[in-house]
Amino acid sequence: MPGILTNTIADKNQLAADNVVLSSGSNEALQAAFVAWGKKGRVVMPGLTYTDHVGYSRRMGVELDLVPLKKDMSIDLDRIADAVDDSISLVYICNPNNPTGMTLDGDELRDFCRTVGKKAVVIVDEAYNDGMAGMRVGYGLARPDLASTIKNHLMAWSNVVGLAAANGIEPLPSQTNFVYADISRNASEFQKQMAARNVLNPNYSRISMGRIEDIRVFQQVFSDVYRG
Ligand SMILES: Cc1ncc(COP(=O)(O)O)c(C=O)c1O
């Protein structure tokens, strides 16, 4: 199932699957990046921004360089760019910024990323773009080598229910070890196709959580058959 969502996000952004990092909400990928690059140098960010990342980074021993906002409370991209020297490994920009709610001009931000990105890794936190915060589904888009570094620092396992929901399958809220979902296609036919791949699941629309190795096989076959 992670494969389907990865491909959907990649296609939507005209990128390849290895540009996509799926994570448990956007926080996990963002904070994994702080840990990964914060070990290599200092992190520069606006002086007023999303406090979760500031607190988490400090607790991880990451050294932060906070650049004050402009008088109008917008992020000072020029001053942040000036602050990027050899000691800086990561630049964090939140757009729209939390807590001001103010957005940056798209062209200015792209120019900033092109220029500053040559000197340090730049993260743009767009947590308010699409996303399924409550289901803990988030994603990041990055160059494959950077995406791979972030993936190496993730901590959570794939959230099967969240991934299913992000793929358009809405399971009922379950208090058990199975989920019951409308798969919006002929379920008997779907069951036959799953059986043809040696995944037999007589209560086909009730998905039970079995042993982890069974779930992994199930996830893969379900994804393949669901995509058709
Ligand atoms: C700027 C910003 N980044 C990240 C997050 C975390 O979002 P998520 O629920 O996708 O992990 C939030 C949540 O409020 C946020 O405001």
Please report, for the chain, the start and end positions of each structural domain, with discontinuous segments joined by +: 14-152, 169-227
Asked if pLDDT for residue 18 goes beyond 60, the answer is yes
How high is the pLDDT of residue 202? 53
Q: Which two tokens stand for residue 181?
A: 């979902």
CATH number of 169-227: 3.90.1150.10
Q: Is the distance from the beta carbon of residue 97 to the nearest atom of ligand 1 less than 6 Å?
A: no
Task: Write phi, then psi, for 21 (nearest 5 degrees).
Answer: -120, 120
d(CA 141, CA 17): 10
Determine contact, residues 158/1, Cβ cutoff 8 Å.
yes
Distance 30 CA to ligand 1 centre (A): 9
90 forms bridges with which residues in the sheet?
43, 121
The mean per-residue pLDDT over the stretch 27-39 comes to 95
d(CA 213, CA 61): 36
pLDDT per residue as tens digits for the range 138-148: 999 999 999 99
Q: Which of 22, 45, 51, 52, when mutated, tests ligand 1's pocket best, judged by the most ligand atoms within 8 Å of its CB?
A: 52
| Cα→Cα distances 186→57, 135, 180, 183, Å | 48, 26, 15, 8
Task: Report the chain's mean pLDDT, rounded to a whole number.
Answer: 87
Residue 66's contacts (CB-CB under 8 Å, 6 or more residues apart) are 44, 45, 46, 47, 54
CATH architecture of 14-152: 3-Layer(aba) Sandwich (3.40)
21 forms bridges with which residues in the sheet?
140
Q: Which of 22, 23, 27, when mutated, tests ligand 1's pocket best, judged by the most ligand atoms within 8 Å of its CB?
A: 27
Asked if pLDDT for residue 204 goes beyond 60, the answer is no
How high is the pLDDT of residue 205? 56
